[in-house]
């Protein structure tokens, strides 16, 4: 039986892709199939937690309400930190429920969990000092986007490269990925059908996608030594990914 990874608010599933490729059963809990804040309404998820079968949890709740880049004067909705924490708290509830389950020798239970959000946002006020702060170039993706991780996970091995040198001609010398995301499009591969299903712009999707160098490093640091995989499990994972392709994590 495959070890199970929950990818909460996973959007395109980029963070969990290395796990899926290695034979883990990945469940991307995201819209439209799942509302993470209503996780107790999904018997299959509750049963997985009760049976102590969750190996790891990745969570990337939307940063919309936490982002310091948000312009409260022009935003469609006013900043609402309580609303922003609704999904964060739901992710933490799932983590805690997994940790409450009694650990058994034959089923070691949850081995790691991590919550991701931009470092410069307001989430630090609620979760405290991050366990890890990184830029994508530290793991092989040549751009900057300071990101924070909270949780319990093993130390990642870095593979630093030089950030790409670029100065946007119309944004007062901006060089960062968030401001100039279109000029880093070659580093991102949007899953087929995702844009059409979400109606999001390329810019919005690319900003939300986890850098693959980091995703692979996180996998290598936290993977199990032995992951059996069956053809049936692989096919179920493929169907699962298609069913949950539309994501929540769209404003990073």
C-alpha distance from residue 12 to each of 47, 135, 189, 236 (Å): 25, 20, 10, 17
Side-chain-side CA neighbours of 161 within 13 Å: the count stands at 13
Minimal CA–CA distance to 221: which of 179, 178, 158? 158
- Residue 5 clears pLDDT 50, i.e. is over it: yes
Buried b (16+ CB within 10 A) or exposed e, 186-218: ebbebbeebeeebebeeeebbbbbbbbbbbbbb
**Residue range 18-29, pLDDT digits in tens:** 999 999 999 999
Residue 222 makes CB contacts below 8 A (sequence gap 6+) with 56, 111, 112, 153, 154
Collapsing DSSP to helix, strand or coil, 177 comes out as coil
- Residue 234 clears pLDDT 50, i.e. is over it: no
Q: What is the pLDDT of residue 245?
A: 38
**8 Å CB contact between 219 and 19:** yes
**8 Å CB contact between 56 and 15:** no
Fold of 4-243: Rossmann fold (3.40.50)
Q: What is the pLDDT of residue 94?
A: 97
Least confident of 55-69, 196-210, 237-251: 237-251
Q: What is the pTM of this model?
A: 0.82
Mean pLDDT for the chain?
A: 81
Please give the Cα distance from 219 to 234 (Å, whole number): 18
φ, ψ for residue 197, nearest 5 deg? -75, -30
Q: Which residue has the higher pLDDT, 103 or 40?
A: 40
Domain ranges of the chain: 4-243
* Mean pLDDT comparison of 3-7, 32-36, 209-213, 231-235, highest-scoring range: 3-7
């Amino acid at each position: 039986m495959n070890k199970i990874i929950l990818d909460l608010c996973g959007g395109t599933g980029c963070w969990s892709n290395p796990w899926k490729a290695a034979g883990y059963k990945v469940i991307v809990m995201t819209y439209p199939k799942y509302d993470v804040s209503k996780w107790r309404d999904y018997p299959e998820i509750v049963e997985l937690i009760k049976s102590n079968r969750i190996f790891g949890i990745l969570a990337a709740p939307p940063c919309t309400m936490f982002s310091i880049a948000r312009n409260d004067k022009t935003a469609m909705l006013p900043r609402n930190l309580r609303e922003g924490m609704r999904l964060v708290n739901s992710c933490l509830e799932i983590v805690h429920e997994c940790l409450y389950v009694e650990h058994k020798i034959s089923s070691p239970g949850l081995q790691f969990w991590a919550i991701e959000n931009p470092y410069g946002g307001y989430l630090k006020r609620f979760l405290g000092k991050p366990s890890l702060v990184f830029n994508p170039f530290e793991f092989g993706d040549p751009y900057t986007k300071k990101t924070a991780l909270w949780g319990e996970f093993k130390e990642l091995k870095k593979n630093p490269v030089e950030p790409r040198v670029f100065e946007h001609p119309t944004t007062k010398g901006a060089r960062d990925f968030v401001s100039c995301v279109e000029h880093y499009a070659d580093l991102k591969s949007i899953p087929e059908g995702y844009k059409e299903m979400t109606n999001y712009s390329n810019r919005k999707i690319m900003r939300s996608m986890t850098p693959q160098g980091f995703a692979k490093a996180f996998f290598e640091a936290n993977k199990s030594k032995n992951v059996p995989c069956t053809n049936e499990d692989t096919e179920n994972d493929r169907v699962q990914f298609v069913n949950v392709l539309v994501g929540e994590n769209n404003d990073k």
